[in-house]
Amino acid sequence: MDIGFVSMNTPADVAPGVLAKELEQRGFESLWVGEHPQIPVSAAGAMPAALLHAQQRMWDPVLSLMAAAQSTTVLRLGTAVALPLEHELFTLAKQVATLDQFSGGRLLLGVGVGFRAELAVSSSVAWADRYRALTDMVTALRGLWTEDEAEHHGEFFDFDPVWCHPKPQQRPGPPLLAAATGPKAIGECLPWADGWLPGDAAFRDLPAAVDDFKCRAEEASRDPATLDLTIMAWGDPSAKRLARYRELGFNRVVIGGGRSGGDDPSTTLPFLDRYAAMVTELR
């Protein structure tokens, strides 16, 4: 099992280019960043004040991971999570392809649907339709990433043949990991997802949730063994807890979310040092 690190990726954190180099030197497998293109002021009471303050200030994930790519050679670069429905389709397709090329094919895309209030501001997609729209957008993106003259005629996205280059280095594009937790959401994502990206805090019974995911994958004619299973570990997980994730079948754990010290950069490198030995032990 590989170990990655997620940063809140704000001006108060270690800059992504610097952080990526530190991670690679310690043997970490990946760096992950999230995004919030905007947060409606009306949503202020929906999350803890400290979390809201950080999420308001996130750097752009594509530009941040580009900086990380330029300072490293093997570190994988991930989004946890990107919000495709809050982007214009063709711009997103080109940004992702460019980043994947510049990083030498090291990109991983954790994708989700965000919060209801955010989607209402940035898209005409109704909240009830969000996962159907995400499926349609993923299909359109993969067409743009693989076909010379791509066209798509779906429920939410419709366009006649276009040229959209460059293509990503990875084919049919970077792996897409579904950040979905509920049974309905998982079911809607399984036809297209290359993997699953849950947070451990979302489940009271994680082993049961993993078993349920694997059963749903098989029902969708997907072999669970071929899917990338990545879990976001909240807080300061012990070695025993990380080993338990490996036993459950996760091939990657991403630490750093909710860690002690928060976004204080003086605590980041000591935190990484504490887990550096486990990187080798768990691989």
Q: Mind listing the pLDDT tens digit for each residue in 15-33? A: 999 999 999 999 999 999 9
Positions of the chain with pLDDT lower than 50, given as ranges? none
pTM: 0.96
CATH number for domain 2-282, candidates 3.30.9.40, 1.10.357.10, 3.20.20.30, 3.40.190.10: 3.20.20.30
Look at residue 229 and give its three-state secondary structure.
Answer: strand
For strands 158-162 and 150-153, give the pairing. antiparallel
pLDDT given for residue 49 in this prediction: 84
Distance CA 179, CA 110 (A): 6
pLDDT given for residue 283 in this prediction: 86
Alpha-carbon distances, residue 178 vs 159, 182, 230, 233 (angstroms) = 25, 11, 10, 16
pLDDT given for residue 5 in this prediction: 98
Q: Mind listing the pLDDT tens digit for each residue in 232-255? A: 999 999 999 999 999 999 999 999
pLDDT given for residue 130 in this prediction: 97
Neighbours of 141 (CB within 10 A): 29
DSSP code at position 253: E
